[in-house]
Each structure stands twice: as structure tokens, then as C-alpha cells.
Structure 1
Amino acid sequence: MKYIRIPLGAVQTNCYFLINDEKECLIVDPGGEAQKVFQTIEKHKVKPLAILLTHAHFDHIGAVDEVRERYNLPVHLHRLEKEWPTNPELNGSRFFPLGEITAKPATDLIQGEGEQTIGGFTFQILETPGHTPGSVSFYFAEERWVVSGDALFARSIGRTDLPGGNEPQLLKSIHDKLLTLPEDTFVLSGHGEETTVEEEMDGNPFLNGF
């Protein structure tokens, strides 16, 4: 397997294309600029199977409808954020000068943690709330990847000042779910560069004391 990371939209949210040997593709967090998503799919000649959302903030859902309609894809989102795509106050777009952003409801609601199989992909869903109530991370054990959304960044953590944010809960999620993964696990974050669990355990100033 391989992945491609493309920052999209006004705040450069990372969209990930997870591609297996059969050229199937999972699209994580298509946050805007749908044409760039289409171009990536066409350039690499992959078959999209689904859209996975780590959470439903506006900068992670901006291109969801265009992408899903073009390829007839299911959209997976945690059940606690069922109402968020359609609500600019919940998804945060009402609080930023970019205009209100909405998307249609997700087709597949994530009910909790556990193993998920889509096509030739098998991965673990980890509930990592705190940035938002329904934030999840997608862990691919064989590849040693975890797509963490806005829970954990290189030398930083997700903000908790938007609706539903909870800093103690976020720190607990990071400690209990992400820092317990193998230290060489690559963390594919929602913004910025990739990092590893080991690097964040050793050098993230927000995690001192863990």
C-alpha cells in the first residue's frame, strides 16, 4: 500500500488517498478543491471505494458532495457528528470568514471502535474525541499508519475552542489511543507534515507529563 497527501482548501487540510496493490483507493477528508481530488484519482488511475471522515469540521468536508456524487461513494462519519455536515454552527464554518459550508449527511455512521473492511482494505477505527466529540483515527496496523485527523499533529495537538471541543478529553485520547501504538507508527495528521508516535512522545510540548 501507499498513500498520497494533498493539502486542500483555504486552511490547507490534508486529504489522504490510501491506495492498495489492486489500485483501490480510500479518500480521507476531502476538504475542498474537488478538481484536485479528481486530478489525483485520474493521474494515478485508482478506483475510489469510499470517503472516510475523521470528523466533520468544515475544512474536512468541503469537497465531500462533489467527490461522492462523481464516483457514487459512501461517506463514513462517526454517529456523534451525524448532524454536523448540514449545520454550519456545528461544523464551525459559521465562525470563519469563508462563508457557510455544508455537505449532505453521511451514508454510513461509525457506531464505535473496531475492525472495518472496505474492499481490499482492513483497518481499525479508534475513537479519539476531544477536538470534536466524534473524532476518529484510522489505524492500518500492517503499514504502521494512523490517520489521526486533527487529534495529533507534529509537535502540536488539535484545537478545542470550537463547539464540542474538550482539551482533557483530547489529551486522554492521544495518551490512551495514539501513544500506545508502536513507536514507529507514522501519524498522518489533518494539517502539516507527517510525524511518528515516537517523535511526539519525545518532543511534543503539549504532551509533557505523559
Structure 2
Amino acid sequence: MRYQIVPVTPFEQNCTIFWCENTRQAVVIDPGGDIERILRALETEQLTLAKILVTHGHIDHAGAVAALAERCSVTIEGPHAEDAFWIEGMAQQSRMFGFPEVAAFTPDRWLNDGDKVSFGDIELDVLHCPGHTPGHVVFFHAPSKLAQVGDVLFQGSIGRTDFPRGDHDTLIASIKNKLFALGDDVDFIPGHGPMSTLGEERRYNPFLSGRFG
């Protein structure tokens, strides 16, 4: 499996393209905006979009999901159903964060912990990792030791928990019990900022060592 990060929206959100080298089928994870930029990346690599995956319902991650799904006639998978209230409130999020108004959507498939997502010859594991939002999910490709973790964990930081139905203790439990269990040698793509490894964050992230938070 190969991947490309495509920063989108004024929040520089790490929209991510995963693709199968054998079939050239791809998924776009968290198309928050800037559809033309995403489509150019797909065209450059000569990829066929198979489906859209969503980690959680915040607008910088999900704002362009409805438009991209309609444009490319593809299905939407994720997040967990506990984030339905965020997705239903896309118009309100637009006003709250100063984004152009975007459409709400209903995923073709809500995801649960332990589910699998497939495209081409690739299969991703789904981990339900609440805390930042109640329905946040993570996508993990075990053979590549690569995870897209959305806003759960960042290099040197963790996701915010001051939004509606966020919870700090739940977030820390998701990181320590779900993410760190994948192994120290797993690379992860966060929702914003540079990549890191789970081992680096387990050892040095101040929000997980008790120095902050």
C-alpha cells in the first residue's frame, strides 16, 4: 500500500490518500475541503477512487465528504454512529468555524471497533477511539505498520477534548489501550502536523507522561 498526504482547508488538515499498487484503487480519508486539490492528486497517480473514509465528524475532516462522494459517485464509510450529531450539524459548524456552508451526509456504513474496510487488495482495521469526539475511528494497515489516527494523537500533543461530548480521560484511554497496543514501530499520520511513531509518543509525548494534561 502507498499513501499521500494532501493538506486541505485553512486548518491544514491532513487529508490522506491510501491506494493499492496492484489495482490502483484508492480511498480518500477525511476530505475536509479543497476537492480540486484532492482530485488532482488522484489524477496525477492515475488512481480510481473506490470510497471515502471518515475518522470523525468535524468540518475540517468531513466538510467536503458529501460533495466529493457526489462528484465521484462513491460510498462513504465511517465514522462511528456516535458522531452523527456532528455530521448532522455541518451547517452550524460552517458558521462556527467560518467555513463556506457545506452539506451534511449519511454514511453508507457506520463503523464499529473491529470492523474491516477494504479497497483493491488492501484491508484496513478499524479502531473506535473516542475522546476527541465520541465516534472517532482510526484506520490501521497492519502489513505497512501505518495508521491514520485523525485528531486522537499528534506529534508531541493529543486531541482537544473541549468540544461537545469530548472527554479527556476517554481520549487518554483510547491512546494507551488502543493505539499503543499496535506497537512502537507503527508510523502514524495525524489529522494535523507531521507524522510520528507510536513509540516516540509513548516515550516522549508530555501529555501522556504526566507532564501536561
TM range (shorter): over 0.9
Aligned to 1:85: 87
Q: Separation in 1 of the partners of 2:131 and 2:93?
A: 15
Percent identity (aligned): 33
What do the CA deviations read for 1:52-110 (whole angstroms, capped 9, x no partner)? 00001011112212211121111112111234222148x74443233554422212111
Q: Separation in 2 of the partners of 1:94 and 1:172?
A: 32
TM-score (structure 2 length as normaliser) = 0.92
Q: What is the Cα deviation at residue 138 of structure 1?
A: 0.6
Over 3 Å counting, the alpha-carbon distance change for 1:111 and 1:183 in structure 2 is closer
Over 3 Å counting, the alpha-carbon distance change for 1:27 and 1:99 in structure 2 is closer
TM-score (structure 1 length as normaliser) = 0.93
Partner SS, residue 25 of structure 1: strand
Q: Separation in 1 of the partners of 2:15 and 2:90?
A: 21
- Is this contact kept in 2: 1:15–1:31, CA < 8 A? yes
Partner SS, residue 87 of structure 2: coil
Q: Separation in 1 of the partners of 2:115 and 2:108?
A: 18
What do the CA deviations read for 1:153-189 (whole angstroms, capped 9, x no partner)? 0111000111111110000000001111121100111
Q: What is the Cα deviation at residue 148 of structure 1?
A: 0.3
**Matched pairs, number:** 209
- Is this contact kept in 2: 1:13–1:59, CA < 8 A? yes
| 1:30-69 alignment runs, 5 A limit | 30-69=31-70
1:4 paired to 2:7: no
More helix by share: 2
Partner SS, residue 5 of structure 2: strand
Q: Separation in 1 of the partners of 2:95 and 2:102?
A: 8
Q: Separation in 2 of the partners of 1:165 and 1:95?
A: 17
Q: Separation in 2 of the partners of 1:81 and 1:209?
A: 29
